[in-house]
Amino acid sequence: MAITKVWIEDGCIVCNACEAECADVFHVTADTCVIRADARQDGAEDENRAAKNPLKESIGASLEAAIKSAAAGCPVSVIKYEAVASEAPAKADDVDAAVNKALGMGGSVDDDIDAAVASLQAEDGGLPAKTGYVWDIKAAPNREVVMPKAAPLPSYRIFVAEQEAAKAADEAKWQKQLSDFEAAKAKAAEEGKPEPKAPVRAVPAKNETDMAFPAPTEAQAPELKRLMELLGDKVEEAFEQAGEMTCQVKKEAILEALRLCKDDAALKFEMLADETATHYPAAQGYAFSVVYHLTSVSRSRRLRLRILVPEGFEPESAEQVYPTANWLEREIFDMLGIRFAHHTNLVRILCPDDWEGFALRKDYPTLGLGQREISFREDRSGMLMKLAMEAAGNLGINLTVPKPE
Amino acid sequence: MFKNEEMEINLGPQHPSTHGVLRVKLRLDGETIKHCYPVIGYLHRGVEKICENKTFFQGQVWTDRMDYVAAVSNNLGWAEAVEKLMGISVPRRARYVRTLLTELNRISSHLLWLGTHAMDIGAMTVFLYAFREREEILDIFEAFCGARLTTTAFRIGGLRDDIPPGFEAKVRAFQDRFLACVDEYEELLTENRIWKKRTVGVAPISAEDCIAMGVTGPVLRAAGVAYDIRKAFPYAAYSEMQFDVPTRMEADTYARYQVRLEEMKQSHRIVQQCMDGLPEGAVMAKLPKILKSEVNEVYHAIEAPKGELGYYLVGEKGGVNPYRFHVRGPSFVNLQALPMMTEGKLLADVIAAIGTLDVVLGEVDR
């Protein structure tokens, strides 16, 4: 991918965010943001709204990530861009590959999700076919969804593997720089030219903000140790991060883990504060994580239990231990489509009973059929009505303009 | 002679005593409730989905619109959850101002509860008294951030601006007057015979049931459990504040009324400490212009006026918006206990029970 054009829509609030993110392209003036002359082919410096003059190719390719990040971070979303797919296939990221290798997961993370879904649908009794919200992208292009490329599962194991892979990649880069330098030196000596400059190892930028990422650490808390001792190999992982304890157990053992947490004298997590789930369509081996936030009222402690479940798996309902899970699990079913075994009343709770699809899945679009994002800044004298009638036409509805009596 | 079959009726969704659009399916035997089934979702807007597609800064305005009578509490939860996710440390002055506004918000939320709950049960006058003071608090919010209800009062990392000139005088004027006002409400209600008949022993729920159903906030404390997140897991500046957690043992509607009145007095105490001990210094942390998260998940809960308000956030590497956002609304979880509180009781008690749970449907349905 490379960015071909970038322009600023009306409504810039001069917040400087884009310039902080990508100063080579954006420049914030007293009343708006402009595209720098150096970055453009025509050399003018303005908002580029009407002209949509293309960017210089080198800039569009090299600063793609920074431009996209600035556009995503714009608080009023006025930075727009056009991008083309580059011809060379994108290489799998070195770090990703190394992480996969370290975790024993073969292949790239960017697996073909559609193929996987299709193969599941082909099997009898597999995933229910998407009979729900079938939509026609051509009729309503704004329903297209961008699927996440990675599965951000917080985990100490993955974090350590990532750190090691990044360190190894950094070391390899440095070794390559050194060997390049040696080769250049030898070549220069051969040709009698002055010696090239020795490379300097890049040091990570100093953090000058009040922000320090809370890295996960090994399980130290007595609760986690007690759980690991009681559950043995049913614990998949236990770690601490941002002052919170997380214990990931095998999906079949969740009921046992919940019972222990509630009844064990050393744990005594009497209350289930919250239960929710997250959709990870890009993950391998599972599709959802279900998390249980337990509170010990008597000891003022919190614990997060987590299970990873594949599509179609029905975890045991926590209602059997904590009655409050009744509504919480109904909400999970309503929003993410996870069914729970032995739940007393697993019906939709927030959406109507005949609703189609599960809204908090990542493949569920944010805009409805024929619906479009309305910009309140655009001409109100008929533009919206025209677009609404077009949208209605897509649905096969004939609207007529109301006539004043 | 007389027919004795059971009758099914719908309470709501447009009944004024349901405080929004709550529908309760009731099966009655005469006036006794045999079965109670709350139906919710009429105000569902998909706040979680929307926030997952907005940046961390943009997400905050949506939290105003969940519990719209306690928007400041919702803002505080959001800002602190994001700060925890990214590991941002907030200046002490900002934490004090946040605490101050959140406690004023607790008073205003309890005042709205008091006025409407009393009106549901038939005491009209209290409403006018309570709204008089609530108005003053909303004026303070307006002076601070320009909005009265949908405040978006805080920013991630601190505050947008320091407190404006004249703010302190406004708060002090309110502080000087407020305790006498609480006495006025008490004069109207506490020993009022009709009020006591409608509330004493009505809609009880025991401490064990509360914990099993996840019920938190004043309802849990009125059952004798001194569980307050401000004490159990201190956040903002609460670890530096002196205050008590009021409890009652009776676990009925009257006990919850007493707990909430006492809480208002304690909030008044905290506001006073914030004003007197307000530290000097910056109100905003140093942050990059565009906030990006790392892979992390947090559950951050605060003591909202209605109970435990928890935000669950999952961040992805380099993400400018949350990968997953979930709200554990106290109203949502507390409302689940409604059948337990009303089954076997009288129809008129349902109105008292909905009022005493203090649910806001904007938060139940999100």
Q: What is the pLDDT of residues B76-113, one digit of tens each?
A: 999 999 999 988 999 999 999 999 999 999 999 999 99
Res. B322: pLDDT tops 70: yes
User: Region B30-37: what's the mean pLDDT?
Assistant: 88
Cα distance between residue A388 and residue A368, in whole Å = 13
Strand runs (DSSP E) across A242-286, as ranges? 244-249, 271-279
Q: Say which DSSP state B307 is in.
A: E
Res. A67: pLDDT tops 80: yes
Residue A114 contacts by C-beta under 8 Å, 6 or more apart in sequence?
none
Res. A89: pLDDT tops 50: no
In contact, A48 and A8? CB cutoff 8 Å: yes
Residue B310 CA neighbour count, 13 Å, CB half: 24
Q: What are phi and psi of B39, to 5 degrees?
A: -115, 120
Q: Which of A57-66, B275-284, B289-298 has the lowest mean pLDDT?
A: A57-66
DSSP string, B195-245: HHHHHTT-S---HHHHHHTT--THHHHTTT----HHHHS--TTGGG-----
**Which residues 346-385 of A are in CB contact (within 8 Å) with B?**
348-352, 359-360, 364, 366
**Shortest CB distance from B211 goes to which of A72, A271, A274?**
A271
Confidence of residue A36 (pLDDT cuts 50, 70, 90): confident
- Going by their DSSP bridges, the two strands A244-249 and A235-241 should be labelled as antiparallel
Confidence of residue A59 (pLDDT cuts 50, 70, 90): confident
Cα distance between residue A208 and residue B249, in whole Å = 52
Res. A404: pLDDT tops 80: no
Complex-level ipTM: 0.90
Q: Which of A34-48, A175-189, A237-251 has the lowest mean pLDDT?
A: A34-48
Nearest CA in chain A to B363: A350
Q: Tell me which of B284, B314, B361 to substitute to probe the interface with A (most A C-beta atoms closer than 10 Å).
A: B314
Distance from CA of A404 to the nearest CA of B (A): 34
Q: Which pLDDT score is estimated for A22?
A: 83
In contact, B313 and B156? CB cutoff 8 Å: no
Res. A95: pLDDT tops 80: no
Q: Which pLDDT score is estimated for A99?
A: 46
Per the DSSP assignment, residues forming a β-bridge with B23 are: B39
Q: Which pLDDT score is estimated for A120?
A: 44
Which segment, A180-189, A203-212, A375-384, is predicted with the most confidence on average?
A180-189
For chain B, say whether A234 makes contact (Cβ under 8 Å): no
Res. A103: pLDDT tops 60: no
Structure tokens at A138: 């051509």
Q: What are phi and psi of B148, to 5 degrees?
A: -100, -40
Q: Which pLDDT score is estimated for A138?
A: 52
CA distances from A82 to A54, A154, B30, B135, B205 (A): 9, 33, 68, 50, 60
Nearest CA in chain A to B286: A209
Strand runs (DSSP E) across A262-322, as ranges? 271-279, 288-296, 301-309
Q: What are phi and psi of A237, to 5 degrees?
A: -165, 145
**What residue type is assigned to position A224 of the chain?**
L
In contact, A229 and A210? CB cutoff 8 Å: no
- Look up the pTM and report it: 0.78
Q: Which pLDDT score is estimated for B57?
A: 86
User: Region B262-285: what's the mean pLDDT?
Assistant: 91
Q: What are phi and psi of A240, to 5 degrees?
A: -120, 145
Q: Which of A3-17, A24-38, A360-374, B169-183 has the lowest mean pLDDT?
A: A360-374
pLDDT digits (tens, 9 = 90+) for A133-163: 444 545 555 566 778 888 888 888 888 998 8
Output b/e per residue, A333-358; b: 16+ Cβ within 10 A: bbbbbbebeebeebebbbbeeeeebb
Indicate the SS3 state at residue B24: strand
**What residue type is assigned to position A197 of the chain?**
K
> Backbone dihedral region of B228: left (phi > 0), alpha (psi from -120 to 50 degrees) or beta?
beta
> Backbone dihedral region of A226: left (phi > 0), alpha (psi from -120 to 50 degrees) or beta?
alpha
Mean pLDDT of chain B: 89
> Given an 8 Å threshold on Cβ–Cβ distance, is A152 in contact with B295?
yes
